[in-house]
Structure 1
Amino acid sequence: MFLWLISWAALLAQVVFVVFSLAAGLYYLAEIIEEYSIVAKKIITYLLVFVIVLYIGLLVFDGFPWGLVVVGLLTHLLYGSLLTTFPVISLLSPGFVGGTLLLIVAHILAFQYFADHWHIFQEVLAFFFLCLWMVPFSFFISLSANDMVLPVSVGSPDGSSRRSRRSMLPALMDFLASKLNNLSPSKSSKSI
């Protein structure tokens, strides 16, 4: 019984360790991408070509359904359109919105395919990681490369707004913090 409790405590410690390791690794990758955005753009371009070749290979050699392959190819072509303005990624651009919607469709089609056709877990995980998640994830961690690039309207004390160049994530966090401060009651000193 005691060994069983120790094993659960060790499992919890391992999960915490893995989560912190992933967070540190992602932070490091984001720093590298921010420093070398031109190289990151080339790597993402190579990843796009690699995934497109994978989709064609899955169609030709493994007989994957046409619908899944075509949606995957269209998704990655839309991702490619995001590279024209890289590292600036507009969340309302047709490439981003269309890529996100087609990513959802590709997930649905992949779930349907793998529910009907048995594959070992390693093959399913490889498909999802390489064909569905790798390129969007690389764009996600490259969002930090937008530091000092994206113009964001910032309110000044006199009520006017000015344009400054700030990262999207800090601007979003500042916006959410200001909204939370507006919702919470202000602390006032009580007089006795």
Structure 2
Amino acid sequence: MWILPLVGYLGSVVGFCFLTLAIASGLYYLSELVEEHTVIAKRFLTRLIYSTIVLQILLCTVDRFPLFLTVLSILSHVVYLGNMRRFPFVKLTDPLFLTSCVLVLINHYLWFRHFSHEQERSYQNISSYYDTPSNHPSFTEIASYFGLCVWLVPFALFVSLSASDNVLPTMTDNSDVSGASGLGGSRRSGRQGMAKALVDSLVAGVANAGAGLGWKRPDDRLD
């Protein structure tokens, strides 16, 4: 077969592009929601951090998770909680924010190594190739743990934190002021979420690259 493998490669590329667009659209929508409901988002994230800490304690006491990694995860979430003091504003050079980024990587590496060693130890104790270890967590359980206890809070903070914290909420142009007065002050300020800023930067970069190659948007062709 010659054509079918090429169709498979083409389908993989197209699927990856659609997946990337779906993730970018989801981040953009979540950033819009956080900008509109900042107080609710802060309350939700705070409770999410406390819930994750309680879940870590339960996993350590009931399922005998390693104490050192559990303490490290709890301390990491305490550091994440410190980012909420100026929510949704953050400085990318803030030591607390940089420490949070480092702790995310450390937690991911240490927990990945822990589950890998547990899997190797479990398969070394079985006598037959067709046997399966009984006390080893499944792939779904491990993936769920990483998603809920390792990645969820940092990802939520990344989506929620503002990238343009130098823009004050009162710094609006005349059109925003007039619109706010007409809508009872319901217009949002000029701040922009970090994920939204990244998506806008990627879109602008693609547009500039296309312009450099001589491509024009349909509205530009009419000029």
Query: Contact 1:56–1:69 (CA<8 Å) still a contact in 2?
Result: yes
Structure-2 separation of matches of 1:27 and 1:143: 13
Per-residue CA distance 1:70-112 (angstroms, 9 max, x = gap): 0100000111111111111233434323322322322232122
Q: Does 1:35 align with 2:36?
A: yes
Structure-1 separation of matches of 2:193 and 2:44: 22
Cα RMSD, aligned residues only: 2.5
Give the match for residue 54 of structure 1. Answer: 55
Query: Contact 2:159–2:193 (CA<8 Å) still a contact in 1?
Result: no
2:151 aligns with one of 121, 133, 149: 133
Bigger mean CA offset, 68-77 vs 39-48: 39-48
Give the match for residue 80 of structure 1. Answer: 81
Q: Does 1:142 align with 2:160?
A: yes
% of aligned pairs identical?
34
Give the match for residue 180 of structure 1. Answer: none
Higher relative contact order (CA 8 A, sep 6+): 2
Give the total of aligned pairs.
Answer: 158
Q: Does 1:4 align with 2:10?
A: no
Structure-2 separation of matches of 1:42 and 1:166: 19
Bigger mean CA offset, 99-108 vs 50-59: 99-108
Structure-2 separation of matches of 1:11 and 1:50: 38
- Segments of 5+ residues of structure 2 without an aligned counterpart are 120-136, 169-189, 206-223
Query: Contact 1:71–1:105 (CA<8 Å) still a contact in 2?
Result: no
Query: Contact 2:34–2:41 (CA<8 Å) still a contact in 1?
Result: yes
Report the alpha carbon displacement of residue 150 of structure 1 after superposing the two structures with TM.
2.3
Query: Contact 1:82–1:95 (CA<8 Å) still a contact in 2?
Result: yes
The 1:150–1:6 alpha-carbon spacing in structure 2 relative to 1, beyond 3 Å, is: same
Query: Of Structure 1 and Structure 2, which has the larger fraction of its residues in strand?
Result: 1
The 1:127–1:168 alpha-carbon spacing in structure 2 relative to 1, beyond 3 Å, is: closer
One-letter code aligned to 1:136: P
Give the match for residue 93 of structure 1. Answer: 94
Taking the TM superposition and a 5 Å limit, the aligned residue runs for 1:111-126 are 111-118=112-119, 119-126=137-144
Structure-1 separation of matches of 2:77 and 2:158: 14
Structure-1 separation of matches of 2:46 and 2:166: 22
Query: Contact 2:56–2:74 (CA<8 Å) still a contact in 1?
Result: yes
Q: List structure 1 segments (4+ residues) > 4 angstroms apart after TM superposition.
A: 165-170
Secondary structure of 2:161 counterpart: helix
One-letter code aligned to 1:129: G
The 1:95–1:85 alpha-carbon spacing in structure 2 relative to 1, beyond 3 Å, is: same
Query: Contact 1:52–1:73 (CA<8 Å) still a contact in 2?
Result: yes
